[in-house]
A = this chain, B = another copy of it.
């Protein structure tokens, strides 16, 4: 079986062909330009690949409600040409196969649950901390959509006692993304994250914000695993700082051995590494194929 996978990111599109066992057989990366330029290149890639279904994990916000007239569109984005662009419709027009369609972070959470760090578990959260912060939610064996889709990168935060930084989120100022995304690190410290030394105070502060949102997510959703990906999380020194802060925040309240005794295996990097999103898109395509085949 050949399933197409599209990780549609704000910076780059990653295209791939995979099979039902989660093997990626081919892979191509493109910079994200104007849709009139990018989508034809995507279509060209899949033209001769004979895929039986395609899964798309997209940057957003996007419309993932099949009942909505704008299903399949990117809704609001500052990226030129993409606001209200019907990405799924354009792809469907080119390929008459079943399509899976979800947010990039939901796709990554799903991919990790199928083949990665949360394999065999009925729930996980996937955080990406990079240019922005996004959270994919997989719970009770299903991807969570709800009214729109999760936008957990924008949850409110309490301030670090030594932090006077105003935050960079244009909507909320000092929400999680406003305080902890890559641009916030750069604006606060005057240097990019990878230019700061490993023992810089920035990392304890960064861990403080990420751990806070994880603590609240554990309390609200009780996930089996928390997976942290994205550019900022390449700073491996963050993991022990975050785990320690989460344990301090919870203060023994949630009595689960997974938290109390195995925190090192509870908050982890993606099992699929930087390809979690592409594998997730493959998993979405496979699910769409199965759904169609079951009809």
Binding site for B on A (CB under 8 A): 61, 75-76, 122-123, 135, 137, 139-140, 142-159, 171-172, 212, 215-217, 219-224, 249-256, 258-259
Q: Which residues of B contact A217 (CB under 8 A)?
A: 220
Asked if residues B252 and A171 are in contact (CB atoms below 8 Å), the reply is yes
- With beta carbons under 8 angstroms apart, the residue of B137, B158, B255, B256 that contacts A221 is B137
Closest to A65 in B: B256
- With beta carbons under 8 angstroms apart, the residue of B150, B219, B249 that contacts A151 is B219
Asked if residues A139 and B144 are in contact (CB atoms below 8 Å), the reply is yes
Asked if residues A156 and B158 are in contact (CB atoms below 8 Å), the reply is yes
Asked if residues A255 and B149 are in contact (CB atoms below 8 Å), the reply is no
Q: Closest Cβ of chain B: how far from A209's Cβ, in Å? A: 11
CA distance A266 to B42 in the complex (A): 40
CA distance A256 to B63 in the complex (A): 10
Q: Which residues of B contact A215 (CB under 8 A)?
A: 155-156
CA distance A111 to B152 in the complex (A): 27
Asked if residues A220 and B155 are in contact (CB atoms below 8 Å), the reply is yes
Q: Known contacts being A76-B255, A140-B142, A171-B252, is A155 close to B219, with CB within 8 Å?
A: yes
Asked if residues B140 and A145 are in contact (CB atoms below 8 Å), the reply is yes
Q: Closest Cβ of chain B: how far from A225's Cβ, in Å? A: 9
Asked if residues B216 and A151 are in contact (CB atoms below 8 Å), the reply is no
Asked if residues A219 and B152 are in contact (CB atoms below 8 Å), the reply is yes
Q: Which 8 A-B pairs rank lowest in CB-CB distance, beginning with the nearest?
A: A146-B222, A155-B216, A158-B158, A152-B220, A171-B253, A147-B222, A151-B219, A123-B146
Q: Known contacts being A171-B251, A172-B249, A219-B152, is A224 close to B76, with CB within 8 Å?
A: no
Q: Which residues of B contact A149 (CB under 8 A)?
A: 222
CA distance A221 to B256 in the complex (A): 23
12 residue pairs from A and B, CB less than 8 Å apart = A139-B139, A139-B140, A146-B221, A147-B223, A150-B220, A151-B220, A154-B219, A156-B215, A157-B158, A171-B252, A172-B251, A220-B220
